[in-house]
């Protein structure tokens, strides 16, 4: 970006395509994970209650994989590569310290929620990151000349 080889419109097409592919892959592999949950634990010697909890946690993981995929691709693959590393740092830091950890703490210590709900509360961080990153990418503010 910045060498003049690609126009900003072309860069945006690549960025949008990458985000759509991240979403599609996240939905697909999340679905595969959800479908394979029973098979994953067939050969294990774990107690039944441990397997039940692990299956619930895999359901949360599979259901939210598209968010993790979108946020990671947006932050690392698009924003950083476009020279917007300060914003990437901002989103990662605020997502963790202002969304993820507080939601987890409230779920665990205020609401006394079950383990799987506490785990699911951390998905709020990925939701926050995904929404903020989509708006940032669409704003084109991340496209900077990285050749200077």
Q: State the average pLDDT over residues 71-79.
A: 95
Say how many C-beta atoms besides its own lie within 10 A of residue 91's C-beta.
21
Q: Is the pLDDT of residue 148 over 80?
A: no
pLDDT at 2 over 70: no
Tell me, rounded to whole angstroms, the distance of Cα 52 from its chain centroid: 25
- Residue 129: per-residue pLDDT: 97
Q: What's the pTM value of the predicted model, to 2 decimals? A: 0.89
Q: 32 CB contacts (<8 Å, ≥6 apart)?
A: 62
Cβ-proximal residues to 17 (8 Å cutoff; 6+ apart), any chain: none
Residue-wise pLDDT tens digits, 19-48: 999 999 999 999 999 999 989 888 888 999
């Amino acid at each position: 970006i910045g060498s003049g080889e690609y126009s900003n419109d072309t860069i945006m097409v690549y960025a949008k395509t990458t985000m759509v592919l991240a979403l599609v892959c996240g939905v697909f592999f999340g679905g595969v994970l959800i479908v394979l949950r029973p098979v994953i634990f067939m050969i294990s010697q774990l107690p039944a209650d441990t397997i039940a909890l692990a299956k619930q946690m895999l359901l949360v993981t599979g259901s939210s994989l598209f968010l993790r995929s979108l946020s990671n691709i947006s932050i690392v693959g698009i924003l950083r590569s476009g020279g917007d590393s300060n914003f990437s740092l901002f989103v990662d830091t605020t997502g963790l310290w202002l969304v993820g950890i507080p939601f987890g703490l409230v779920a665990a210590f205020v609401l006394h929620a079950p383990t799987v709900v506490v785990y699911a509360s951390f998905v709020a961080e990925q939701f926050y990151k995904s929404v903020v990153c989509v708006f940032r990418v669409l704003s084109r503010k991340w496209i900077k000349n990285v050749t200077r």
